[in-house]
């Protein structure tokens, strides 16, 4: 399974990067990184499951991924899904679960489009019997001038409330 994951990720990166290189020889990629911690009112196993593709449907309005592999939606490394892009009329974003560790409560997604790549890392830590801290990090990288501009805009929008909107939505669900 790990070899399959590595092969899928390699193919995605080669396609995206090669396309970007052909389109703009003098282009300089920009990367935007930001993290936030949120405090959630649930035990760590319950909270961690809410960051998996199907778990997120419980608290994230309009989250409705198209499950590609496995179609059951069971979370695992190498899981592939698609969602609409933030850019109207653009092809869907492709998401790959690049890390899924139930024991350490960590999940990571690599999201690709024609103009940008994003990496979302989430790590949960128990802070009490029914209290969990989730550290969420976004890395957005432009693959074109337009991708740089969109990545800069998106990181600002995502962290406008320092993910307190996530905290509120998840804690409301956990009540």
- Residue 87 confidence (pLDDT): 83
DSSP E strands, the chain: 31-40, 66-69, 80-83, 93-101, 106-112, 116-128, 131-142
Tokens of 52: 């998996």
- Residue 43 confidence (pLDDT): 97
> Residue 110: which CATH number?
3.30.530.20
Dist CA 120 CA 9 (whole Å): 15
pLDDT tier at 21, thresholds 50, 70, 90: low
Q: What is the pTM of this model?
A: 0.86
For residue range 138-175, list pLDDT tens digits in order.
999 999 999 999 999 999 999 999 999 999 999 999 99
Reduced to 3 states (helix: H, G, I; strand: E, B; else coil), residue 169 is: helix
pLDDT tier at 17, thresholds 50, 70, 90: low
- Residue 1 confidence (pLDDT): 66
Query: Is residue 6's pLDDT more than 80?
Result: no
pLDDT tier at 114, thresholds 50, 70, 90: very high
Average pLDDT of the residues in 103-122:
97
Tokens of 68: 């590609």
Query: Is residue 20's pLDDT more than 60?
Result: no
- Domain holding 110, by residue range, is 2-174
Counting residues of the chain whose pLDDT is more than 90, the rounded percentage is 80
DSSP string, 92-118: PEEEEEEEEETTTTEEEEEEE-SSEEE
- Residue 144 confidence (pLDDT): 96
Number of domains in the chain: 1
Reduced to 3 states (helix: H, G, I; strand: E, B; else coil), residue 84 is: coil
For residue range 49-64, list pLDDT tens digits in order.
999 999 999 999 999 9
CB count within 10 Å of CB 159 equals 16
- Residue 78 confidence (pLDDT): 96
Query: Is residue 94's pLDDT more than 90?
Result: yes
Average pLDDT over the chain, rounded to an integer: 92
Could you tell me the CA-to-CA distances from 81 to 20, 23, 115 in Å, in that order? 22, 26, 18
By DSSP bridging, strand 80-83 and strand 66-69 are antiparallel
Q: Which residue has the tokens 């961690």?
A: 48
Q: What does DSSP assign to residue 78?
A: T
């Amino acid at each position: 399974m790990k070899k399959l994951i590595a092969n899928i990720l390699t193919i995605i990166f080669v396609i995206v990067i090669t396309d970007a290189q052909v389109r703009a020889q003098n282009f300089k990629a920009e990367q935007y990184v930001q993290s936030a911690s949120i405090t959630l009112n649930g035990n760590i196993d319950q909270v961690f499951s809410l960051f998996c593709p199907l778990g997120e449907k419980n608290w994230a309005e309009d989250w409705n991924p198209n499950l590609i592999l496995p179609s059951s939606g069971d979370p695992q490394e190498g899981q592939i899904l698609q969602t609409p892009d933030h850019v109207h009329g653009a092809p869907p974003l492709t998401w790959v679960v690049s890390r899924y560790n139930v024991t350490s409560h960590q999940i990571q997604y690599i999201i690709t489009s024609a103009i940008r790549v994003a990496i979302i890392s989430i790590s949960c830590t128990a802070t009490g019997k029914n209290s969990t801290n989730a550290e969420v990090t976004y890395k957005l990288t432009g693959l074109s001038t337009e991708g740089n501009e969109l990545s800069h805009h998106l990181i600002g929008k995502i962290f406008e409330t320092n993910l307190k909107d996530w905290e509120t939505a998840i804690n409301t669900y956990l009540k």
